[in-house]
């Protein structure tokens, strides 16, 4: 299998890796870069557990080739907290018990952040639509939606302070 | 698998022409990558078109809009001029998949993937969209309804790819709309899709195009349905005639998502609703 050398940026850091041309970005992140936050649920772009952002846009990393990352900027769940300080979304997921098994959680957090970056005050309906590409088989979604609403509120307060 | 990401259409076409084995064009990859993951395809060559500048542009031209083959649905949704001129095309493109899929999926890919249930295709057909097809020795512009020949089948030659989709310049007092029926509210494959595009003159429909998805092996344009609308203000009689023409044009499959009878009936119902929205968007009363 042909391998290709790829230079990219992951969570702000320059990264180089060599990967088979048909390897998914998800597998590269997990197996080569040790970033195991993104998960493979379905491998077909339906469950969103592998969500990352690519040049600022939310994508399923299982449907992106590793070689496509050349020169792009990738953000994963590992880049979400500021050192030891959790992102408001992460904190609210804990406070609202918006997770059980946790497999879908990194994807939900990345997708919710992508939403709040674009729309700081989403309605409940907008939140549910924005997270429709993320499946959770434990929580029934209500706690997740409430956590996103609470985090949005926290983030609006923080941006006012600045 | 050889992966190439050329920076010109000419290079991309030369790569396709030069490959002896199986070659695939990679745009957003939301269908192609699924097939790759499921081992349904074993490409010898994959040509990624996303590094080709002309394929990443939405241009307003003298004759309408030119949408590069690598432009994502999310980007289409952010283009205000396009949304104003062709709201039905944009809403159809925006219905495809989740936000994750929206960031990557393209209307050119939706067309070339050749699914009978493709959401953007009925809207493109109703809009009279054309595909700019580039091959090794020639470039041709063809109506989008000539691209798909059957489920998963296109009329593109091995060395050809779609460089852009063009939409005509919009006449005043025009509107289009796309509706699909799915059993849930989001993230599903159309059981029936219907697009209507029309232009008014003195308050009545002057020209119209009606297209149906997911009710036949390819998206179908239904001229009889359009004729039923022309010269009317969408009175009940015109709408009933159009709905009957839509149902008559259906040749659907029976599957877990919808029976033949159901799809045939819903095609008419959706057509009526889509026509009303298009009429209203055109300023009709």
- Per-residue pLDDT, averaged over B91-102, amounts to 97
**Chain B CB contacts of A48 below 8 Å:** 98, 100
Closest chain B C-alpha to A82 CA, distance in angstroms: 24
**Chain B CB contacts of A129 below 8 Å:** 186
The answer to whether the beta carbons of residues B254 and B262 sit under 8 Å apart is no
Q: What is the rounded distance in angstroms from the CA atom of residue B40 to the CA atom of residue A44?
A: 12
Looking at domain B174-281, which of 3.50.50.60, 3.30.70.270, 3.40.50.300, 3.30.390.50 is its CATH number?
3.30.390.50
**Chain A CB contacts of B104 below 8 Å:** 57, 59, 63-64
Which of B25, B98, B189 to mutate: most A Cβ within 10 Å? B98
Q: What is the pLDDT of residues B142-176, one digit of tens each?
A: 999 999 999 999 999 999 999 999 999 999 999 99
Q: What is the rounded distance in angstroms from the CA atom of residue A114 to the CA atom of residue A132?
A: 13
Q: What is the rounded distance in angstroms from the CA atom of residue A26 to the CA atom of residue A12?
A: 18
Neighbours of B161 (CB within 10 A): 26
Is the CATH code 3.30.465.10 the one for domain B2-49+57-168?
Answer: yes
* Mean confidence (pLDDT) of chain B: 97
- Per-residue pLDDT, averaged over A14-31, amounts to 97
- Per-residue pLDDT, averaged over B53-80, amounts to 97
The pLDDT of residue A162 is above 80: no
Q: What is the pLDDT of residues A40-97, one digit of tens each?
A: 999 999 999 999 999 999 999 999 999 999 999 999 999 999 999 999 999 999 999 9
Q: What is the rounded distance in angstroms from the CA atom of residue A113 to the CA atom of residue A109?
A: 6
- Residue located via tokens 């939301």: B30
Specify the pLDDT at position A95.
Answer: 97
DSSP codes joined into one string, B117-135: T-SHHHHHHHHT-EEEEE-
- Per-residue pLDDT, averaged over B218-230, amounts to 98
Phi-psi region of A34 (alpha: psi -120 to 50; beta: other; left: phi over 0): left
* Mean confidence (pLDDT) of chain A: 96
Specify the pLDDT at position A2.
Answer: 81
Question: Domain extents for chain B?
Answer: 2-49+57-168, 174-281
The answer to whether the beta carbons of residues B132 and B163 sit under 8 Å apart is yes
Specify the pLDDT at position A73.
Answer: 98
The sign of the CA dihedral A73, A79, A83, A88 is positive
Q: Tell me whether B97 touches chain A (CB under 8 Å).
A: yes
- ipTM of this predicted structure: 0.96
Comparing alpha-carbon positions, the chain A residue that sits nearest to B3 is: A21
- Which one, of A105, A34, B77, A69, lies nearest residue A113 by Cα? A105
Specify the pLDDT at position B160.
Answer: 98
Is the CB of A65 less than 8 angstroms away from the CB of B26? yes
- Which one, of B96, B113, B91, B119, lies nearest residue B187 by Cα? B96
Give the three-state DSSP class for B28.
coil
Neighbours of B42 (CB within 10 A): 11
Quote the tokens at residue B245. Answer: 């023409």
Domains of chain A: 3-79 (3.10.20.30), 88-161 (1.10.150.120)
**Chain B CB contacts of A132 below 8 Å:** 98-99, 186-187
Q: What is the pLDDT of residues B197-221, one digit of tens each?
A: 999 999 999 999 999 999 999 999 9
Comparing alpha-carbon positions, the chain A residue that sits nearest to B101 is: A59
Closest chain A C-alpha to B99 CA, distance in angstroms: 6
Neighbours of B233 (CB within 10 A): 13
- Which one, of B72, B176, B43, lies nearest residue A65 by Cα? B43
- Per-residue pLDDT, averaged over A130-146, amounts to 94
Q: Tell me whether B184 touches chain A (CB under 8 Å).
A: no
Specify the pLDDT at position B67.
Answer: 98
Is the CB of B100 less than 8 angstroms away from the CB of A64? no
Specify the pLDDT at position A1.
Answer: 60
Specify the pLDDT at position B184.
Answer: 82
pLDDT tier at A126, thresholds 50, 70, 90: very high
pLDDT tier at A161, thresholds 50, 70, 90: confident
Q: What is the pLDDT of residues A108-121, one digit of tens each?
A: 999 999 999 999 99
By Cβ distance, the residue of B38, B72, B100 closest to A60 is B100
pTM: 0.96
Could you tell me the end-to-end alpha-carbon distance of chain A, in angstroms, rounded to an integer? 51
Please report the beta strands in A70-159, taking only residues with DSSP state E, as ranges in sequence order: 73-75
């Amino acid at each position: 299998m042909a391998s290709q050398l790829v230079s990219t940026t992951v969570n702000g850091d320059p990264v180089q890796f060599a990967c088979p041309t048909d390897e998914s970005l998800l597998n590269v992140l997990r197996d080569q870069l040790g970033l195991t936050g993104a998960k493979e649920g379905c491998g077909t772009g339906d469950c969103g557990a592998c969500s990352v952002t690519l040049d600022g846009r939310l994508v399923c990393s299982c449907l992106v080739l590793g070689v496509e990352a050349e020169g792009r900027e990738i953000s994963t769940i590992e880049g979400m907290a500021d050192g030891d300080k959790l992102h408001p979304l992460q904190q609210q997921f804990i406070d609202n018990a918006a997770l059980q098994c946790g497999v879908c959680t990194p994807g939900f957090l990345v997708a919710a952040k992508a939403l709040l970056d674009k729309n700081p005050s989403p309605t409940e309906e907008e939140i549910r639509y924005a997270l429709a590409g993320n499946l959770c088989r434990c929580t029934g979604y209500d706690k997740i939606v409430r956590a996103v609403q609470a985090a949005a509120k926290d983030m609006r307060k923080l941006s006012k302070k600045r | 698998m050889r992966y190439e990401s050329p920076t010109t259409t000419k290079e991309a076409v030369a790569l396709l022409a030069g490959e002896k084995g199986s070659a695939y064009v990679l745009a957003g990859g939301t269908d192609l990558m699924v097939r790759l993951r499921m081992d349904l395809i074993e490409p010898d060559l994959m040509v990624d078109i996303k590094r080709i500048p002309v394929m990443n542009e939405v241009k307003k031209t003298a004759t309408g809009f030119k949408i590069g083959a690598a432009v994502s649905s999310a980007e289409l949704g952010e283009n205000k001029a396009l949304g104003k001129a062709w709201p039905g095309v944009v809403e159809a493109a925006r219905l495809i998949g989740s936000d994750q899929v929206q960031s990557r999926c393209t209307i050119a890919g939706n067309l070339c993937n050749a699914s009978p249930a493709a959401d953007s295709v009925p809207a493109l057909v109703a809009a009279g969209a054309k595909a700019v097809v580039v091959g090794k020795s020639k470039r041709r512009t063809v109506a989008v309804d000539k691209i798909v020949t059957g489920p998963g089948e296109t009329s593109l030659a091995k060395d050809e790819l779609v460089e852009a989709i063009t939409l005509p310049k919009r006449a005043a007092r025009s509107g289009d709309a796309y509706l699909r029926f799915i059993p849930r509210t989001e993230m599903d494959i159309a059981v029936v899709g219907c697009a209507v595009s029309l232009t008014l003159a003195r308050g009545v429909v002057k020209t119209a195009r009606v297209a149906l998805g997911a009710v036949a092996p390819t998206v179908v344009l239904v001229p009889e349905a359009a004729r039923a609308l022309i010269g009317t203000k969408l009175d009940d009689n015109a709408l009933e005639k159009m709905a009957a023409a839509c149902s008559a044009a259906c040749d659907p499959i029976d599957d877990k998502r919808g029976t033949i009878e159901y799809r045939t009936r819903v095609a008419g119902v959706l057509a009526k609703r889509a026509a009303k929205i298009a009429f209203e968007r055109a300023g009709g009363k």
